[in-house]
Structure 1
Amino acid sequence: MLDLFFIGFIGLVLLAGLKRPFLWVLLYIYIDILAPQKIGWSLVTVIPVSLIAFVAAFGGWLALDEKEGSRFTMRQALLAILLVYCGVSTLFAVFPEAAEAKWSWVWKALLFALFLPLTLRTRLRLEAVALTMVLTLGAIVISGGIKTLGGGGGYGMLHLFVNDNTGLYEGSILSCAAIASIPVAVWLMRHGTIFPPDWRVRIFGAGLIFSSLLIPIGTQARTGLLCIGVLGVLMLRSVRYRTLYVAAAGLAFLAAVPFLPQSYVDRMGTITKHEGDESASTRIAVWGWTLDYVKEHPLGGGFDVYRANSFTYFTQVVTGPADNREVTYQEVTDRARAFHSSYFEMLGEQGWPGLILWVWIQLLGVWQMEKIRWRMARSDAGKKSWQWGLATALQQGQIVYLVGSAFVGIAYQPFIFMLVGLQCGLWSYVQRTEAPAARGKRHALRDEKARLSEDHRPAWQK
């Protein structure tokens, strides 16, 4: 029955796309985030629904969709360069089979991020993409939030729609993405036109945000706690009553602490004491190995080069009762451990050129969203505009991702690259709609000054 639902829904959207081809873009976003082919049991697992939606999205834009207003931005060019660079590095990867397996989905994430802004010509389309991303991720998040409230959480134990600890269904990755999506959800609650803001939208949005905050607790992901803290600080820039916001956040934290599971509190305590946690100690060792590796291989070793690592480190072991603890150090030898950091993932796999390209793409997004904020904030109406709000939300979400990705290997996570594509689309839209108006005002002011100057010139100079 579940398979029939997915096949029927996907089929209906494919048919509707014959009249509105942009729906195929939204369909691919839905499939790529939710992964119904992993949720189903039979038919949907056999049919290549992701590939069908991917081809339909590109083919529909090329053959049926209008191209007026589409622009190719600098960040899209950087994405294209990174795409080619990763493809070339795959040909010379240290582990060819593993590299090809990762390349099979990385190229689609990069190519779709490059392509998506070309389709985002209107406010409605920008909002539709944001809404599809938030609601599709929300399906996973709400499920996880309900299970967390029911006591079904735990590190590596919060089973969602699938029994698969990869992609967005991995605890740390889901925690980072869930918190990064909160600002976009808030924007949709305030400026949405597809679902105009009313009490129903606000109640659902509040529930979705609450579920997103529960995900780091249910997964016991330390990354999620850091992301919540970063988002809380970032929102100080955009809230109207900062003192009230800080007070409310403090009270909410104090009220939540007594209800937190002890296992969650104990795990969060290892953030500042990595020596006593084997997982954290492993990350430090892997990062050190990566730095040593790129000294000899500055261009990196291709996808999944972490399989070549091997190292020995010491971890703290605490034994005995609370009033008489004994601390000893245990030697641990490990090998083929993942990077556990997007920055070291890029550095180890693509070397210094790949890391520089990736960081450039990310920081350019932060700067472009800030520039939109500056432009729209020139007037009181601009600060209340949907463009200012969306730029703020996308910037906050990206910064949360950049902090969270320091501890999770999600450098190529498709959800985040969709956010990058949405940023490129907003940047292009604002450049196309706001810049000409600004130039027109400047030209009109210049002509007016010239006319006044002409009127006051002596007759013999005219």
Structure 2
Amino acid sequence: MRDIALALFIFGMIPYTLMRPYVGLLVWSWLGYMNPNRLCYGFAISFPWVELVAIVTLLSLLFSKESKKIPWSTTSVLLVMFLLWTGLTTFFAVVPNSAWEKWLEFAKILVMVFVTLVLINNRERMHWLVWMIVVSLGFYGVKGGLFTILHGGGNHVFGPPASFIADNNALALALCMTLPFMRYLQLHSSRKLVRTGLGFGMLLTGIAVLGTYSRGGLIALVIVAGALFLKSRGRLAVVLVIVAVGFTAYHFMPAQWTDRMDTLHHAGQTDSGETRIQSYEFAASVAAHRPLLGGGFNVYQSASLWRSYGPEDAIPRAIHSIYFRVMGEQGFPGLVLFLMLLFVSWRNCSRVRKRTRDIPDMKWAFDLASMLQVSLVAFMAAGAFLPMSYFDLAYQVMALCAILELHMRQRASQPARELHYGSSPGAFAVSGNAQSVAGVTT
């Protein structure tokens, strides 16, 4: 039944996608983040829904009246350079078959990231993309939070099988990245019921992170909580959620959870911590011996390289750090490009915050920039302990940072006489060739 319902919904959305390609981008994001097919039991599990929607979206964009020009910026240039560089390293990869498979997967993600740069060109579309991220990943936050409460915190929370977020650690990272988007929507929703629901969603998502039993997730959750407090307006709601999640962790979670989290005090002495450190040493050694090109995607799968460059008696495993993984797989130039993407994305949001801080009708942009930064913080913090270097959400967040900054620059460059403010808070339209932006309420 689920399979049929999913198929009917997706095929039913194809006509809308053909008329409005940005609808296809939203559906693609929903499929990529929520992975609803992984909740089915029949033919829908293995059907290539994401590829189908991506192809229809690209065809729709090709024949639509939408602008097809990529808004070139530092971010878009860096994305192209990073994609080309990873392609170059793949030509010289140590594990070529696996590397090409991974590169094609990454290339598909970046193609849709560029579609995001093209199609998400006004406030309304940004708002709906944020909603899609929250609905898709928030589903697992609410579900995981309820699961943790109902089972007394005794069982681990996992993501949908065979997906980017199947692992408990990966799910924790994704949920931490989603929390600030929930807060943004809460700040800019006009309906009290929606704001209340988002507040409970944040609470349950925080509890779900606890339920993953991810130590890296706990570290990221604490950092995100602090960042939300510092960067969010109306901090009382944030404080209430932080206190409630903290109370749950201290008084509700069982002893086995506490024992696992206590190992953070001596993480290097645990089996998990030791193998992580070994993977970091392996990645650093590969980069030292192959500084320009690294070992290519999935270099950790090479048993011979582990024998040559890994610590003695090391257990081959994935490189559990976004930084060490990129360094080992893409060499030092790849690491520089990756770090520059993160830096430029942060800088874009800082510029938006500076320009909009004292403009009442641009609070939405100020808040979105702030929450994008918190999401980046979550990725950088939790990612330090996870092999999530090529997580699609991270690159779509980078794209949103660039889109928002470009939007603000275009708005600032318009003569004052060309700006016509609408009746709703934050609504404005720009005459001429500039994009029109409608006020968004929820």
TM-score w.r.t. the length of structure 1 is 0.83
Alignment of 1:300-379 (within 5 A): 300-307=294-301, 308-310=305-307, 311=310, 333-377=313-357, 379=358
The question of whether the paired residues in 1 share the 8 Å contact of 2:158 and 2:212 is answered with no
Partner of 1:182: 179
Whether the 8 Å CA contact 2:19–2:60 is kept in 1: the answer is no
The within-5 A match list for 1:91-106 is: 91-106=91-106
Match of 1:433 among 402, 411, 418: 411
Deviation at 1:247, TM superposition (A): 8.8
| 8 Å CA contact retained: 1:80, 1:114 | no
Shift of the alpha carbon at 1:360? 0.2
2:422 matched to which residue of 1? none
Shift of 1:226: 1.1
Alignment CA distance shift 1:71-1:245 (3 Å):
closer
Name the SS of the counterpart of 2:314 in structure 1.
strand
Larger Rg: 1
Distance 1:437 1:412, change over 3 A: farther
Secondary structure in 2 matching 1:273: helix
Q: 1:152 to 1:29 in 2, by over 3 A?
A: farther
* Deviation, structure 1 residue 277: 1.0
C-alpha displacement of 1:100: 2.2
Distance 1:273 1:339 in 2: 20
CA distance in 1 between counterparts of 2:158 and 2:348 reads 38
C-alpha distance in 1 between matches for 2:161 and 2:236: 43
Match of 2:424 in 1: none
Q: Deviations over 1:156-188 (max 9, x none)?
A: x4345x444x51121111111111111111111
Mapped pair 1:212 → 2:205: yes
Q: Distance in 2 between matches of 1:419 and 1:57?
A: 20
What's the RMSD between the two structures over aligned residues? Answer: 2.5
Looking at structure 2, the residues matched to 341 and 220 of structure 1 have their Cα atoms a distance apart, in angstroms, of: 18
Distance 1:83 1:244, change over 3 A: closer
Aligned twin of 1:34: 34
Cα distance in 2 for partners of 1:214, 1:240 equals 23
Is the 1:145–1:215 contact (alpha carbons within 8 Å) kept by the matching residues of 2? yes
CA positional deviation for 1:112 = 1.8
5 Å-filtered alignment, 1:248-287, equals 249=242, 253-254=246-247, 256-287=249-280
1:420: Cα distance to partner? Answer: 1.4
The amino acid that maps onto 1:405 is G
Q: Please give the alpha-carbon distance, in whole angstroms, between the structure 1 residues aligned to 2:141 and 2:239.
A: 26
Deviates more, 1:428-437 or 1:111-120: 428-437
Residue 398 of structure 1: how far off its partner (Å): 0.6
Q: Which moves more between the two structures, 335-344 or 52-61?
A: 52-61
Matching residue of 1:410: 388
On the 8 A contact 1:83/1:107 being kept in 2, the answer is: yes
Gaps of 5+ in 2: 420-442
Q: 2:426 corresponds to which residue?
A: none
Deviation at 1:153, TM superposition (A): 5.4
* Counterparts in 2 of 1:217 and 1:84: CA distance versus 1, 3 Å: same
CA shift for structure 1 position 281 = 1.0
Change (3 A) 1:438 1:152: farther
Distance in 2, Cα, partners of 1:419 & 1:170: 21
Give the structure 2 partner of residue 450 of structure 1: none
Tell me the secondary structure at the aligned position of residue 184 of structure 1: helix
1:418: Cα distance to partner?
1.5
Q: Distance in 2 between the 1:244 and 1:31 partners?
A: 31
CA–CA distance in structure 2, aligned partners of residues 97 and 252 of structure 1: 44
Deviation at 1:21, TM superposition (A): 2.3
Aligned partners of 1:247 and 1:201: how far apart in 2? 17
Report the secondary structure of 2:14's partner residue.
helix
1:295 counterpart letter in structure 2? A
Alignment partners' CA distance in 1, 2:131 and 2:87: 32
> Gaps spanning 5+ residues in structure 1: where?
314-332, 442-462
Count of residues in Structure 1 that have an aligned counterpart in Structure 2: 413
The answer to whether the 8 Å contact 2:224/2:374 transfers is yes
Report if the CA contact (8 A) 1:168-1:174 is conserved: yes
1:10-409 equivalences under 5 Å are: 10-67=10-67, 71-151=71-151, 157-160=156-159, 162-164=160-162, 166-191=163-188, 196-240=189-233, 249=242, 253-254=246-247, 256-298=249-291, 299-307=293-301, 308-310=305-307, 311=310, 333-377=313-357, 379=358, 381=360, 385-409=363-387
Cα distance in 2 for partners of 1:110, 1:128 equals: 20
Cα shift at 1:236: 3.4
Of 79-88 and 345-354, deviating more is 79-88
91-100 vs 360-369, greater mean Cα deviation: 91-100
Instruction: Name the amino acid aligned to 2:298.
Output: D
Contact 2:82 2:337 in 1 (8 A): yes
Alpha-carbon shift at residue 215 of structure 1 (Å): 2.0
1:434 positional shift = 2.6
* Deviation of the 1:27 alpha carbon: 1.0
Query: For residue 427 of structure 2, what is the aligned residue in structure 1?
Result: none
Distance 1:234 1:301 in 2: 35
CA distance in 2, matches of 1:404, 1:36: 25
Q: Secondary structure of 1:334's partner?
A: coil
Distance 1:199 1:306, change over 3 A: same
